[in-house]
C-alpha cells in the first residue's frame, strides 16, 4: 500500500518515461555544483561528521562502499573516501557513466569538486588523504538500474543523493527506490540519503525530468522501519525554482530488518 494514498498515479511520468539517454551532466553540474551552494556544502559537512562518528575508534575500513544512482555528483563518494577500500558508483544513464569514468581516470577529477573536499578535509580522518589519487584507486563505475538491485551484494556503507525522488512522479517507484537502497546495505552500515524537498521536477539542457514531491515526514515514515538512529535534517536552502529545500537522512541500517 502506498504511503501517499491521496496522490493520483494516472498520467504520472515514471522512471522509464524520462529521457535518461539525453541527460547532460555538464549542464547539470553548471546548474547545481559549479558554484558551490550553501545547502550542498552543509550536506557534505553533515555527511562527513556522521561517517566520522560512525567509525570513531576504529582503524578498519569497510571492504565496500556504494553510491546508488551516482549521477554527475562526486561528493557522496568523496565523503566515503577515507573509510573504504573500494567504492562502487552505480549509475544507469550512459552520459553520466561517461562523465564518472573520466573523473576516475589518471587525470583526476575536475576542480569543481575541490570546494567540497575543502569541507571534508577539516576533519582529521580526511586531511591526510590525497583525494585525486585515492579516488582513482578505489572508485569503480558500474551500470545498474536501481530497480534491478534485488539480490545484489550488500555494502558496508552507502549514499544515495537526489535519486529516488528525482527519477519519477510515481509514489510506488519512489518507495521502491528507497527500499532498494536500504536493502543493498549490510546490517549496521552507516548511510546518507539526500532528497530534494517537495520537488516539482527539474530541467537540464532544455529537457524536463520528473520528481516525486516528498517532505521530511514522508522520508521518516518510509525509512524508519529500516534504520537505527535516524536523523532527518530539513535544510531550508533552494538551488532553483520548483522545490522547497533539501532533506538529508542519516543513520545506520537495522540488523533486524531483512
CATH code of the domain containing 101: 3.40.50.150
- Would the pLDDT of 8 be above 60? no
Evaluate whether residue 1 is within a structural domain.
no
Average pLDDT, the chain: 92
What share of the chain in percent tops pLDDT 70?
Answer: 94
What's the helix, strand, coil split of the chain in %, to 5?
A: 40, 20, 40
- Paired with 191 in beta bridges are 158, 251
- Would the pLDDT of 32 be above 60? yes
Domain residues for the domain of 227 are 15-253
First to last CA, the chain: 19
Q: Which three cell numbers stand for residue 24?
A: 547532460
pLDDT tens-digit readout, 196-254: 999 999 999 999 999 999 999 999 999 999 999 999 999 988 878 889 999 999 999 99
- Would the pLDDT of 7 be above 80? no
Between CA 188 and CA 157 the distance in angstroms is 9
Contact present, 68 and 163 (Cβ < 8 Å): yes
Q: How confident is the model at residue 63 (pLDDT cuts 50, 70, 90)?
A: confident
Evaluate whether residue 10 is within a structural domain.
no
Residue 6 exposed, middle or buried by CB count within 10 Å (0-12, 13-18, 19+): exposed
Alpha carbon 241 to its chain's center? 21
Evaluate whether residue 3 is within a structural domain.
no
pLDDT at 15: 95
Evaluate whether residue 4 is within a structural domain.
no
Evaluate whether residue 5 is within a structural domain.
no
Q: How confident is the model at residue 10 (pLDDT cuts 50, 70, 90)?
A: low
pLDDT tens-digit readout, 175-202: 999 999 999 999 999 999 999 999 999 9
With a threshold of 0.85, does the pTM exceed it?
yes
Domains: count for the chain? 1
Our CA angle for 28, 218, 143, nearest 5°, is: 40
Evaluate whether residue 117 is within a structural domain.
yes
Amino acid at each position: 500500500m502506498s504511503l501517499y494514498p491521496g496522490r493520483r498515479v494516472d498520467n504520472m511520468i515514471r522512471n522509464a518515461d524520462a529521457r535518461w539517454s539525453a541527460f547532460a551532466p555538464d549542464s547539470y553540474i553548471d546548474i547545481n555544483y559549479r558554484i558551490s551552494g550553501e545547502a550542498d556544502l552543509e550536506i557534505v559537512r553533515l555527511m562527513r561528521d556522521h561517517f566520522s562518528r560512525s567509525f570513531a575508534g576504529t582503524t578498519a575500513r569497510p571492504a565496500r562502499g556504494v553510491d546508488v544512482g551516482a549521477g554527475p555528483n562526486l561528493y557522496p563518494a568523496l565523503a566515503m573516501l577515507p573509510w573504504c577500500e573500494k567504492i562502487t558508483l552505480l549509475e544507469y544513464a550512459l552520459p553520466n557513466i561517461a562523465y564518472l569514468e573520466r573523473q576516475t581516470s589518471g587525470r583526476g577529477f575536475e576542480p569543481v569538486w575541490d570546494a567540497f573536499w575543502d569541507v571534508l578535509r577539516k576533519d582529521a580522518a580526511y586531511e591526510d588523504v590525497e583525494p585525486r589519487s585515492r579516488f582513482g584507486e578505489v572508485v569503480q563505475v558500474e551500470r545498474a538500474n536501481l530497480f534491478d538491485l534485488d539480490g545484489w551484494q550488500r555494502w558496508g556503507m552507502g549514499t544515495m543523493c537526489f535519486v529516488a525522488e528525482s527519477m519519477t512522479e510515481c509514489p510506488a517507484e519512489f518507495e521502491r527506490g528507497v527500499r532498494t537502497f536500504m536493502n543493498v546495505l549490510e546490517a549496521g552500515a552507516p548511510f546518507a540519503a539526500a532528497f530534494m524537498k517537495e520537488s516539482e521536477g527539474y530541467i537540464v539542457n532544455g529537457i524536463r525530468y520528473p520528481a516525486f514531491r516528498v517532505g521530511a515526514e514522508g522520508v521518516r515514515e518510509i525509512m524508519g522501519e529500516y534504520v537505527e538512529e535516524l536523523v532527518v535534517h530539513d535544510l531550508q536552502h533552494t538551488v532553483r525554482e520548483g522545490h522547497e529545500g533539501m532533506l538529508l537522512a542519516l543513520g545506520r541500517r537495522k540488523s533486524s530488518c531483512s
